[in-house]
Every structure is written in C-alpha cells, then in structure tokens.
Amino acid sequence: MIDYSDYTVSIHYDRRLYRQDIAGSIAHARMLGRQGIIPSEDAETIISGLKSVEQEIEAGEFPWDPSLEDLHMNIERRLTELVGPVGGRLHTGRSRNDQIALDMRLYTREVIRETTAGLRGVQRALLGLAESNREALMPGYTHLQRAQPVLFAHHMLAYFQMFQRDAGRFADCYRRADVLPLGSGALAGVPYPTDRHYLAEELGFGSISTNSMDAVSDRDFLLEYQAAASVCMMHLSRLSEEIVIWSSREFDFVRLSDEFTTGSSIMPQKRNPDFAELARGKTGRIYGHLMALLTLMKGLPLTYNRDLQEDKEGFFDTVDTLLATLRVFQGMLPRMELNVPQVTRLAGESYMLATDMADYLVGKGVPFREAHGIMRRLCAHCEAQGRELQELTLDDYRGFCDRFDEGVYQITALASVAARDNPGGTAPNRVAEGLEQARQLLEEAANDF
C-alpha cells in the first residue's frame, strides 16, 4: 500500500516556529486560567509542561513525529505525554488556524527587527566608505557611459537612501504584522469568555484583530515582508552589479578583499567577485517567492484553506537569504578599497567636462542649445584627433566659438562637482550635508523598534 500521508506533513519546516508557538501557548494557557475557563492549577501545569517541551527541543531531544503532521500537534502530543490528560485542555478556545496565524505574526515581527538591524549595518558601512573617501571624485554614469564627475561619497549616499526607504517599508510592514489574531478560533470566534486584550499585552501586540474571518486567512503581512524584501534585494543586486563592474580590470575602481573573491580552478590570475554575483543571483529567487505567495492567495475563498500551509517555505527562504545577504554586505563593503588615483583621473577625462564647458559658454551669453552644439562639434573634433578637450589651445577653442577665453582652463572635475551646489547635488558642501543627515538617521535608528 502506498502511504500518501507525507504529502500533508509540514513538520520538517514549521518546527522552526517552535519558540513562537510555545510562547503563544503559554500566554493562551495563562489567559484560560485567569478567566476561569480552565482551572488555574491546570494552567500552571500546562505552562511548566510547555517549558519542558521547549527545553527538550532546544537540547535536540524532542521526538519529532511526522505522522503528527505539524508543529502544533507535535507539541500538544508531547505536552500531554509529559503532564497527562490535563494537556488536552490547552486547545480550549483555540484552533490551529488562529494559532498558526499567531505564530507567523510573532515570527515576522522578530525577523523585521533582525532585517532592520542588518539594513542599518549596511547603511553604516556605506556611510563609512563615503566618509573615508570624502574627497574622491569619480565618473558618474548614465547609460553606463561616462557622463559627469561626481563625488564617490555622493554615489555611496545614493545607496544609503535606497536602504533608508527599505527600512521604512519594513517598519510599515511591522505595524500591520503587530496585530493579535488569537481568539479568532477556526473562523468565527470562540464561545468562551477569553480576554484577547490580555493576550495582546502578554505577547506584546499593539492591537487585536477586528474580524475573526479575516484574521485566520490574512497573509498580507507575509506578502508585505516579501515585497519589501524584493525591493531591498533589488537594491543589493544593483550595488552588486556595480561592484562586479568596478572590480573588473577594465574599470579597476575597487579592490575586494580576498575573503569576498574566489579564484578560478583553471585561470590562476582570477579574483572573481562571487559574493556580489551570488547576491545578484539570489534576488531572482526572492522575487519568485513573492510571486508564488501572491499566486497562492489569489483564488482562496474565506477563510482558512490548507493551501496556506504553503506560505512558509518561500517565506523562510526569503528571510534566510535576505539576512545572509545583508550580513555579507556588512562584511564586504568596509573591506572594499577604492582606487582613488584611478577614479580621480577618469573623473576629468573623456569629455566628462563637456556639459560644464557648455554651461561656461552660457555664462558668456551663448544660448544653451547653441553651446551644446558647439561642444558636440568640439568633442567630435577631439575624438577624431584622439585628444582630450584639455589639450586644446585657446585658438583651437576659438575656432569653434569666439566667446572662449582663458577661463576655459579653470574647468576641472573638482570645479564641475563644486558647481552643482543645489540641494541634493554633488557639491562637496551638499555631500557634507548628506553625510550629516545620514549620521543623524542612523542615530535615530537606535530606537527603530
């Protein structure tokens, strides 16, 4: 006979929720005793039994039994083995439906705290890189073509802002995860005088759910975490892409420390940026988990449906992958060395200052569109001759426009950057403001949760 029962088993992955499940059960038992729903001695017995169960799990001595399907049944069975039939009173006024909803919310709140701490660590690393290379210029890009010089610190602070928004998204998700579903029963509520506010207080929830049918079937908080994780991984992936490009010989902007590169089994010279590549690669599976959960939810009638058991593996993998990636970046970024001579040199080369020269002609009364045309012809001329703009004589310049004077030689990458002195621009004093604001945001982050 074929045994089909393992199709429904979830114990091999939902056992990760044992701490949340036991904390929820202890609060529930305490509430049942306080309310006189079960005798208070029984509540005490159950609570100490649950604590023993937790110790057994932590000591690796718990007899997990797949034939009991899930975490909840495993714990309840073991509790009853330990304390006797009184253990059977624990599930009074509760269903596995509000129980698992509770476990997932407790777990989500915890991982949001961890995720946010990881994000703050990455932000600190970016700020550190910006501060230790405060003055370094670099070429800024559009279309991955050299565009205008910027400060390297400005580039790092751009990522700081992305992760700042990510932290905001996780904080927002926390608020909606922070709602107690316990007391909803299977779907309709429970016929006992439970005290849900007491439960909320015991478990540190900000509020209680207002509709039992919604509470047992809502997984929005998981979707929101996974959506925020997807955006965050997208940011990490973009940074990874830059690190991959920057660490190539062609760019040679940064050098990764040995811990974050690997050699090739065949090419002895290689220092491959595998960590950044894997972060970029893992982003795809985070997106996949989000799409899987959205698809899982879209056809479900109210209320609980067993499909919901499928919410877990993708969610856990999302959490593990994101936390691991944040850890890697906290190690990799501070050890990444900027090749200052290289980025400084390139910041002023290859017609990077053409826009500034057009702006300079505007200062001499030439309409911008005309100045743009003059500079385009000048760049083409230089390119044909294999020269840099800076190598032209004043007569060369004047051949294109008689408004050029000695002032054209004052146009440097540093002058270009300094000129962009509007709020949000790359001028050194604006970047100094950005650094100050970033430091302040990190200080405020000390009371994230």
Q: Which residues are catalytic?
A: 143, 264
Q: Which span (115-123, 207-215, 304-312, 348-356) binds ligand ARG, by CB under 6 A?
A: 304-312
Instruction: Kindly determine how many residues on this chain lie close enough to bind ligand ARG according to the rule CB under 6 A.
Output: 10
Question: Are the C-beta atoms of 368 and 362 separated by less than 8 Å?
Answer: yes
Q: Is the N-terminal amide bond of 426 cis, ω within 30° of 0? A: no
Q: By the 8 A CB rule, do 164 and 126 touch?
A: no
Closest approach of Cβ 196 to ligand ARG, in Å?
Answer: 20
Which helix (H) or strand (E) segment is 315 a member of? helix 312-332
Query: Measured from the CB of residue 110, what is the shortest distance to ligand ARG in angstroms?
Result: 18
* Minimum distance of ligand ARG from residue 99's CB (angstroms): 7
Q: Does 346 bind ligand ARG (CB under 6 A)?
A: no
Nearer to ligand ARG, 216 or 358 (CB): 216
Which of 56, 52, 63, 62 has its CA nearest to residue 25? Answer: 52
- Judge contact between 100 and 10, C-beta under 8 A: no
Q: What is the enclosing helix (H) or strand (E) of 212?
A: helix 212-217
Footprint of ligand ARG on 348-407 (CB under 6 A): none
Name which of 21 and 42 has its Cβ closer to ligand ARG: 21
- Using CB under 6 A, pick the residue from 45, 123, 217, 309 that binds ligand ARG: 309
Contact 121, 325 (CB under 8 A): no
Q: What is the DSSP letter of 141?
A: E
Rg for the chain, CA atoms, rounded: 30
- Regarding 426 and contact with ligand ARG (CB under 6 A), the answer is no
Could you give phi then psi for residue 358, rounded to 5 degrees? -65, -45
94 near ligand ARG (CB under 6 A): no
- Identify the bridge partners of residue 255 per DSSP, sorted by sequence position: 337
Closer residue to ligand ARG (CB): 10 or 164 = 10
Q: Give the residues across from 139 on adjacent strands.
A: 149
Alpha carbons 140 and 297: distance in angstroms, whole number: 43
Interacting span for ligand ARG (CB under 6 A) from 74-82, 263-271, 300-308, 351-359: 300-308
Distances 143 to 86, 146, 147 between C-alpha atoms, Å = 69, 8, 9
21 makes contact with ligand ARG (CB under 6 A): no
Give yes or no for residue 308 binding ligand ARG (CB under 6 A): yes
List 25, 45, 74, 97, residue binding ligand ARG (CB under 6 A):
97
Binding status of residue 100 toward ligand ARG by CB under 6 A = yes
**Does 306 participate in binding ligand ARG (rule CB under 6 A)?**
yes
- Of 94, 96, 154, 219, the one binding ligand ARG (CB under 6 A) is 96
Within 52-71, the residues that bind ligand ARG by CB under 6 A are 70
By CB under 6 A, residue 75 contacts ligand ARG: no
Query: Over the range 162-190, which residues count as b (16 or more CB within 10 Å of their CB) and which as e?
Result: bbbebbebbeebbeebbbbbbbbbebebb
Give contact residues for ligand ARG (rule: CB under 6 A).
10, 14, 70, 96-97, 100, 304, 306, 308-309
